[in-house]
Chain A
Amino acid sequence: MRENSASDNFKNFLFILPALLIFSIFYIYPFFYTFILSFHRYDFISEFKFVGWDNFKEVLIYGKDWWSSIYRGGFITFWALTFQNMLAFALALAADRLTRTGKIYRVIFFVLPVLSEVIIGLLMQQMLATAPQGGDVLNHMLKNLGLASLTRDWMANDRVLLTTAIVHCWKGFGWAFVLIFAGLQTIPEQLYEAARIDGASWWQSFTNIVVPLLMPVLALVMVLTVLGTMQAFAMILALTRGAGGLTEVPVMKIYDHVRSSQVGLACAEGIVLGVILVAFSFTMLYISKQIRKKYDVLPG
């Protein structure tokens, strides 16, 4: 290694300068700007007006709408955590047992996460919503299959949130599948064989080999599911356009407040949601570390 002179240091620093500049202007500055904005009233036209904690009070104390949007986000997240991830886990277990065709399924399942939220949302809107907004296709498909009793208005007021959650799971399960499938493929075949020779049943090798070894992957999938779902927005906008508030999720609320020029309020909401998510993900990381310690049967 050559010795570092001041001019060397400076020349080296030039390598990261473009990245640092963009990062400072478009990440660090907006990051702190959020906090400043959240204490002000601002509507893009007039000057900033300092309002103290008013925005936070409006969100935390009087924000009944805000908390119900958190509830709706949580509802969808609950379905994503249970239904989506269990489906992905089951599919991964099934595909893992097929040596040759497993990878073909991976290609198919991953189409949905590749496509944009808007495309998926609009496509499903056309399939599920009744005329004239949608094509009402699923119902006609069911009718053609002789399952007329299953047809219903999928976008009815008391059902639209569940429909949204299912569509969200449908879009997302392929992504969870790929992560879990990759995790399963790293488990050495010898472990299963050893277990079989020792007379272990399928269930025993599942609970004693697969689950412990997959714990890190599962914990990661769970954290990313929660972070992703609580911030999901474009797909839901395309699918239901908020359904008159029935599927209004937190980020949609923030987006609407920006559109209606209530910037301070939007920032306060963003901070509240951000704090909730950070608190959650650090708790989860801590828990998964503890679990990893407990299950640490194999190094690495």
Chain B
Amino acid sequence: MYYRAKKVFILIVLHTFLISVALSCILPFFWMVNSSFKTEKEFMDDHGLKIATNPHWENYRILVVEKQFWLYFLNSLFYTFITVFLIVIISSLAAFAFSRLQFPGKNVIFFMFLAAMMIPLPAGFVPLYVLLNKVHLINRSGYVLAMVNMGLSLSIYLLKTFFDQLPRDLEDAARIDGCNRLQIWWNVGMPLVAPALGVVIVFNALNVWNEFVLASLMFTDDRLMPLQVALMEIYHRNIVAHSLIMAALTIAALPIILLYLSMQKHFIKGLTATEVVG
């Protein structure tokens, strides 16, 4: 009996601890969504702490119709989609070659990619920005290429280790059937590394979607801004419009939260992918 009581007591303590921290993670977001449905006056009265009983869509209307928020959303989608697509193709090609094909300088080049992951470059965006400025690539394609480079090393590394673990039999079979290297990569290699590709896609998609520093330097033009830069701009231009800012944050955060909840295993694997470096 004593043992049982002790066990229950421990469980209660553990859950209280975990739940209180979990609430601190969740409540701000409920508050954010709730406040976004209030008029500015309502917000000033109750600070978004009372449930919005008659949701007020005006903030969303202003954002979408007047502030062209959909444009930033589409920009972010565009950058993310193109970058991830390029990374998947380029890094899987390279990883396949590093794992399966022979060519001179293979180890040296692979080591270079590895070293790039290890060396922290806190000011890496500075020379990159100067360079893009000089060659007049301060535009979408310059940004996408720079972002492709950011995800490349880790993606190649992840995919190469995955390729290394795969049996070669299938590839040999394909070769005997007359597939060339490119066909083996596409028809045999790619389907087999699908689980690792999931991690690569999520990791890079989040990385591009959340990137702020380089984008804020590059895109001073409103029409090119991704969501993260637009959020800062909208905040700076409407500092006192709290509920409007909350609506903007909701538009930016909610899709990611929902996507995360629907495929959280991939997200957790993707975001802790940096672990493998150590």
Interface residues of B in 233-278 (CB under 8 A from A): 235, 239-240, 242, 245-246, 249, 252-253, 256-257, 260-261, 264, 267-268, 271-272, 274-275, 278
Q: Contact between B264 and A110 (Cβ–Cβ < 8 Å)? A: yes
Residue of B96, B113, B122, B256 touching A254 (CB-CB under 8 A): B122
Q: Using Cβ atoms and an 8 Å threshold, which residues of chain B touch A285?
A: 278
- A24-38 contacts to B, CB under 8 A, are 25-31, 33-34, 37
* Residues of chain A contacted by B245 (CB below 8 angstroms): 122, 126
Least distance between A288 CB and chain B CB atoms (Å): 9
In the docked arrangement, what's the CA distance between A131 and B118, Å? 43
Who on chain B is nearest to A181 by CB? B268
Which single residue of chain A is at the shortest CB-CB distance from B212?
A234
Q: On chain B, which size bracket covers the interface? A: 35 or more
A91 touches B18 (CB 8 A): yes
Q: In the complex, what residues of A have CB within 8 A of residue B126's CB?
A: 34, 37, 254, 258, 263, 266-267, 270
Q: Do the beta carbons of B128 and A26 come within 8 Å of each other?
A: yes
Residues on A with C-beta less than 8 A from B1 are none
Select which of B93, B103, B256, B278 is within 8 A of A220 by beta carbon.
Answer: B278
Closest B residue to A3 by CB, please name it.
B102
Contact partner of A114 (CB less than 8 A), chosen from B153, B213, B256, is: B256
Contact count A vs B, C-beta below 8 Å: 262
Known A-B contacts A13-B103, A127-B31, A273-B123; the reply to A122 vs B275 at CB < 8 A is: no
Q: Which residue of A lies closest to B130 (CB)?
A: A263
Complex alpha-carbon distance, A251 and B116, angstroms: 19
Question: Given the complex, which residues of B lie within 8 Å of A127, measured CB to CB?
Answer: 28, 31
Classify the secondary structure of A's interface with B.
helix
Given contacts A108-B22, A137-B49, A266-B126, contact A122 B152 (CB under 8 A): no
B93/A18 in contact, CB under 8 A:
yes
Contacts A23-B112, A170-B24 given; does A137 touch B213 at CB 8 Å? no
Which residues of B are at the interface with A, using a C-beta cutoff of 8 A? 10-11, 14-15, 17-18, 21-22, 24-26, 28-29, 31-32, 35, 43-44, 47-49, 89-91, 93-94, 96-98, 101-104, 109, 112-113, 116, 118-131, 133, 145-146, 148-149, 152-153, 156, 181, 185, 206, 209-210, 212-213, 217, 228, 231-232, 235, 239-240, 242, 245-246, 249, 252-253, 256-257, 260-261, 264, 267-268, 271-272, 274-275, 278
Question: Knowing that A224-B274, A274-B119 are A-B contacts, what are 5 other residue pairs whose CB atoms are under 8 Å apart, sorted by A's residue number?
Answer: A25-B145, A30-B128, A42-B130, A140-B49, A274-B122
Ordered by A's residue number, 18 sampled pairs between the chains whose C-beta atoms are within 8 Å are A9-B102, A15-B96, A18-B93, A19-B93, A26-B146, A26-B148, A34-B123, A108-B26, A116-B252, A117-B212, A123-B32, A126-B242, A126-B245, A133-B239, A174-B25, A238-B232, A254-B123, A285-B278
Residues of chain A touching chain B, judged by Cβ–Cβ distance below 8 Å, are 4, 8-13, 15-16, 18-20, 22-23, 25-31, 33-34, 37, 42, 44, 87, 90-91, 94-95, 97-98, 101, 105-119, 122-124, 126-127, 131-137, 140-141, 144, 170, 174-175, 178-179, 182, 219-220, 223-224, 227, 230-231, 233-234, 237-238, 250-251, 254-255, 258-259, 263, 266-267, 269-271, 273-274, 277-278, 281, 285
